[in-house]
Structure 1
């Protein structure tokens, strides 16, 4: 597959299409934004602090985790450690996108990564396995998810009591089901099946045996190391 130019990777028409493509997922993101807005106010953040955090951080799990450490005297080092541990998977996600990202100028490359989430990374990864370089879903899909997260936070700090517990309605499973559908829709081979199996089993074991949130990193590393060691056989040239 020949490398695409930067203009091809981020065509405005493609960005708009990917924005709409992830709009259904964004509707569920709004619900969790509402829950975060409510939880942040209950934890002692002001409305503008909660909204500013969602605008600039844009990391749902990390933002919820920081609320557990929030108080009159915020301990900065544990706060940074928790956020880094939860978001460390983005290091591997960004590395997986490097074959496409390297075609962009540095400023655009790192700017687009601000909008990287599990959902748009999964779509981009699946498309890449199927022979399509699709950075437009990182930009367009990430933008609609960011807008949904911020809008949900704004609504939550104002009317958050309407959706205090998304898990009660099973909404916490939406993203997991979406990511599973991306995995099942990707390339199928014994190699890919074994990689996902090792990653899944490692994550489950780490969930029960290691500190909170480390299962995400352990699963990603286990699958990534196996994938690196077991190179995919390429036919032709």
Structure 2
């Protein structure tokens, strides 16, 4: 590869990184209150300012972190927390399955770190961008630098502000009184809007929502997460005509 080709590839990589960062920026603004709430709740349950970012950095999955904190006692019921964390994170099996075909051209040493930073927001950005690139005839459809740019700033933002919430938690009191817990649903509504393809394609979403809500109302625990995910997947399979 010539020097000019190397220079072009470097510029292309930096452009894609910057594009991922800029696309993720609006989500970062919405996720800050969410991170502060989690950090504050964790601090109020007895976690130290060091333990809060350690937890959110090693278990990079907001929903399961909230579930774990809700169940946290002293001493903690480790088996229960692990089981609920697995249930809440079970949706990542489906998300990873949807992302896997786009990563086939990458070596495994690159794939595993990409999957580690895969959360709902980075997954949605990566999938949506891959679809846009595919429609434009660009190959590979999945832009690794774009995904890395979005994922790294999201990861750093999440760990940093959960840590800040852990420091401020004892001073904030009841964090729900500030309405910060609305940040999470708001972010998901924005992500869903970006993936909207019309009522015809929204069937699996609706089925997942209804089944998840009913399970939440009538079945104790975190079973509403896998129930909604499996129901939506089953409905999508049924609509595909392969059933």
Give the TM-score band, short-chain normalised: 0.7 to 0.9
The equivalent position to 2:60 in structure 1, one of 58, 61, 71, is: 58
**Superposition TM-score, scaled by structure 1 size:** 0.81
| Distance in 1 between residues matched to 2:98 and 2:14, nearest whole Å | 23
The CA RMSD over aligned residues, in Å, is 2.9
Which residue number corresponds to residue 219 of structure 1? Answer: 228
Which residue number corresponds to residue 50 of structure 2? Answer: 48
Which residue number corresponds to residue 23 of structure 2? Answer: 21
- Aligned in 2, Cα 1:26/1:123: closer, same or farther, shift over 3 Å? same
| Distance in 2 between residues matched to 1:35 and 1:89, nearest whole Å | 23
Which residue number corresponds to residue 218 of structure 2? Answer: 209
Which residue number corresponds to residue 3 of structure 1? Answer: none
- Report matched runs for 1:151-190 at 5 Å: 151-160=160-169, 167-186=176-195, 188=197
Superimposed CA distance per residue, residues 51-94 of structure 1 (whole angstroms, 9 cap, x where no aligned partner): 21122112222223222343443332112101111111111111
| Distance in 2 between residues matched to 1:72 and 1:62, nearest whole Å | 19
Superimposed CA distance per residue, residues 159-198 of structure 1 (whole angstroms, 9 cap, x where no aligned partner): 3356555544444333433333433443635651222222
Q: How many residues align?
A: 226
**Is contact 1:129–1:187 with CA below 8 Å preserved after alignment?**
no
Which residue number corresponds to residue 76 of structure 2? Answer: 74
Which residue number corresponds to residue 5 of structure 2? Answer: none
Which residue number corresponds to residue 97 of structure 2? Answer: 95
Corresponding residue SS for 2:125: helix
| Distance in 1 between residues matched to 2:118 and 2:184, nearest whole Å | 15
Corresponding residue SS for 1:188: coil
